[in-house]
Structures are given as C-alpha cells and as structure tokens.
C-alpha cells in the first residue's frame, strides 16, 4: 500500500529521532564514509542492537523500497521494546501504509511506545482518545497523554491542551489556563497557537487586553497562517502607527527567542535515547 504524504513525513520524523541523521537516507554512492557507517550499523543490527535494527529497517523501506525486509528489522527492534520501532509499526498499521490497515493494532503499538515515555506515540494515542478513534472517547485520558507529550516539547500537544481548556472539552472551560498553553506553544514556534494567542490578546480573553502584543503575534503567525494576515489587516485599522511600531519591535524581540526554543527542541529529540518521563508515565497509569 502507498503511504500518504503526511504518513511519510511522520515516518521520516521517527527515523530522524532514531538515527539522528537524514544522511543515511540521502547519501550518494560515491560517499564511502556513509557506506562504511551503514555497514557498521548493519553489523550492530545483526548483533541485536535495537537502535541499529530500527535504522537499517527504515533505511531499507524509505530509501530502497524494500518493505518486507525493512519491516522485519523494525519488528526485531519492536520485539526488544524499542519505542520508536513500536511507534513506526503503529503508524504503518493505523494508516495502512506498507501493511494491511489494522487500526486496533496501530493503537496497541502506540500504547506500547507511549507507556515508555515516547512523545510521538503519546500524541497519537491522545488524538485517539480525544476524538474516539478506535478507543472509547475519553478527553481526560487524552489530556493526560497530551500533557506528557507537551512536557517533552510537543507544541501541537500544547496547542491541543489549550484548545481543550478554551472550549471546555473534558475539562472546565478556563481561558486563563488556555492562554498559558497557547503561549507555551507560541513561544516554541507553533503558528496556530500564535494566531490564537493574538486573538485572545486582542479581546482580553484569559489575559489583559493588549492590542500591541496581539499585533506582534499575528505578525509572527502570518508567515504561515493566512487567517493571521486577515487579523492583521483588521487590527491595523484600530491601532495607531506608533502602536504598530511598538508591535514590530516586539516581533524582533520574540523571533530570536522562538528560534532558540525550536533549536533546543530539535537537539533534544535527536540526542536523548531514553525519555526522562518513562518512570512518571508508568506511574500515572
């Protein structure tokens, strides 16, 4: 079965987390260093190293198109409890990519990885509980898994928590708490959260009304969100040129901070093999 673009992106992200490099996917035949590195990884995989098995498996699937052979290596890693391999299998079963679609099996693999503190699996499991996909709808269970993923820097999980508080889904409606979570995600570069943050600031929902700050967040979000451009146009008619100048100064202050936050998150997902939340996730079950 052919995977969708979004599924491929997810699988490649899982590969990055596991292998900490895209070089293995896009090396050139003349690059002997990559060839040697791959041979070493294959030897480690044969000796039973789960991370190497995951790397070899994803390489075979995503670069060489050797699906069955690649999946056999990923299963070996999964059988050893390697969470990124479990999540990879979860995605392939749930989406029906590379394997016959089996959403129940997909959720089963998500749960195995999520319990170990694996952030991508936690987010996907949370989605299932929030929307009632495969499992019984349970917003509180979704909130738990989103929260654990958010603690590891998942900005979409932060945004989803904000939305749950904003709309009172599974929790008591709380604009102040919603604002807090949207702000966390916005400061890590989530454009959707930046848009919502601007909207809340422009009317004073969960915060003091601040049209200058709202304009700044709309400006930051407008790089990717079309709705933010509309919000900017509307707000521009209500505030002075002096306020707009202050807002643009604020944008220049926020950009480097957001960039650092994004870079730190990327570094963390490719350098930590074991989640510090493993113990706390297990205790929460």
Residue 265 lies in a domain: yes
Flag whether pLDDT at 284 surpasses 60. no
Flag whether pLDDT at 269 surpasses 80. no
Flag whether pLDDT at 12 surpasses 70. no
**Residues 50 and 103 reside in one and the same domain:** yes
Flag whether pLDDT at 116 surpasses 80. yes
**Domain region containing 178:** 153-270
Question: In CATH, what number is assigned to the domain containing residue 187?
Answer: 1.25.40.10
Flag whether pLDDT at 139 surpasses 80. yes
Domain tally for the chain? 2
Percentage of residues in the chain with pLDDT exceeding 90? Answer: 75
**Residues 198 and 186 reside in one and the same domain:** yes
Mean predicted lDDT score pLDDT of the chain? 87
Q: Which of 103, 132, 151 is the last residue in one of the domains?
A: 151
In the prediction, which pLDDT does 202 show? Answer: 98
Instruction: Give the model's confidence band at 62: pLDDT under 50 very low, under 70 low, under 90 confident, else very high.
Output: confident
Pick the more confident residue, 214 or 29.
214
**Residues 9 and 116 reside in one and the same domain:** yes
Give the C-alpha separation, 253 to 238, whole Å: 23
**Residues 61 and 202 reside in one and the same domain:** no
**Residues 143 and 157 reside in one and the same domain:** no
**Residues 162 and 128 reside in one and the same domain:** no
**Residues 48 and 107 reside in one and the same domain:** yes
Flag whether pLDDT at 23 surpasses 60. no
Instruction: Give the model's confidence band at 8: pLDDT under 50 very low, under 70 low, under 90 confident, else very high.
Output: low
Residues 6+ apart with CB under 8 A from 173: 165, 166, 167
Residue 169 lies in a domain: yes
The pLDDT tens digits of the residues spanning 173-224 come to: 999 999 999 999 999 999 999 999 999 999 999 999 999 999 999 999 999 9
**Residues 51 and 188 reside in one and the same domain:** no
Q: Which of 131, 151, 171 is the last residue in one of the domains?
A: 151
Specify the pTM.
Answer: 0.84
Exposure string for 85-119, b = 16+ CB within 10 A, e = fewer: bbbbbbbbbbbbbbbeeebebbbbbbbbbbbbbbb
With residues binned 3-state (H G I as helix, E B as strand, rest as coil), the percentages for the chain, rounded to 5, are 75, 0, 25
Flag whether pLDDT at 158 surpasses 90. yes
Q: Which of 151, 166, 182 is the last residue in one of the domains?
A: 151
**Residues 96 and 39 reside in one and the same domain:** yes
**Residues 161 and 140 reside in one and the same domain:** no
Establish how many alpha carbons lie within 13 A of residue 281's alpha carbon, considering only the half-sphere containing its beta carbon. 24
Residue 160 lies in a domain: yes
**Residues 82 and 172 reside in one and the same domain:** no
Residue 276 lies in a domain: no
In the prediction, which pLDDT does 15 show? Answer: 53
Q: Using alpha carbons only, how large is the chain's radius of gyration in Å?
A: 21
Residue 282 lies in a domain: no
**Residues 15 and 141 reside in one and the same domain:** yes
Instruction: Give the model's confidence band at 272: pLDDT under 50 very low, under 70 low, under 90 confident, else very high.
Output: very low
Give residue for tokens 């989605």: 127
Instruction: Give the model's confidence band at 277: pLDDT under 50 very low, under 70 low, under 90 confident, else very high.
Output: very low
Residue 78 lies in a domain: yes
Beta-carbon neighbour count of residue 121 at 10 Å?
A: 28
Residue 275 lies in a domain: no
Residue 283 lies in a domain: no
Q: Residues 164, 174: contact at Cβ < 8 Å?
A: no
In the prediction, which pLDDT does 274 show? Answer: 43
């Amino acid at each position: 079965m052919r995977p969708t673009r979004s599924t491929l992106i997810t699988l490649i992200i899982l590969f990055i987390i596991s292998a900490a490099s895209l070089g293995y996917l896009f090396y050139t035949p003349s690059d002997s260093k990559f060839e040697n590195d791959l041979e070493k990884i294959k030897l480690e995989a044969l000796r039973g190293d789960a991370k190497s098995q995951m790397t070899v498996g994803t390489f075979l699937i995503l670069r060489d198109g050797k699906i069955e052979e690649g999946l056999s290596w990923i299963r070996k890693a999964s059988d050893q409890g390697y969470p990124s391999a479990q999540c990879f299998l979860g995605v392939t079963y749930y989406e029906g990519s590379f394997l016959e679609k089996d959403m129940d099996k997909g959720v089963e693999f998500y749960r195995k990885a999520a319990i170990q503190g694996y952030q991508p699996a936690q987010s996907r499991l949370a989605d299932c509980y929030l929307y009632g996909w495969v499992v019984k709808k349970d917003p509180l269970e979704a909130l738990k898994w989103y929260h654990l993923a958010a603690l590891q820097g998942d900005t979409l999980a932060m945004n989803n928590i904000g939305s749950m508080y904003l709309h009172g889904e599974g929790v008591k409606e709380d604009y102040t708490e919603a604002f807090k979570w949207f702000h966390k995600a916005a400061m890590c570069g989530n454009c959707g959260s930046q848009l919502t943050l601007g909207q809340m600031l422009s009317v004073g929902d969960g915060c003091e009304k601040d049209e200058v700050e709202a304009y700044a967040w709309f400006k930051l979000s407008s790089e990717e969100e079309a709705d933010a451009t509309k919000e900017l146009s509307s707000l521009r008619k209500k505030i002075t040129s002096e306020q707009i100048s202050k807002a643009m100064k604020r944008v220049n202050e926020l950009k480097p901070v957001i960039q650092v936050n994004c870079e730190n998150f990327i570094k963390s997902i490719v350098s930590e093999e074991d989640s510090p939340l493993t113990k706390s996730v297990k205790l929460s079950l």
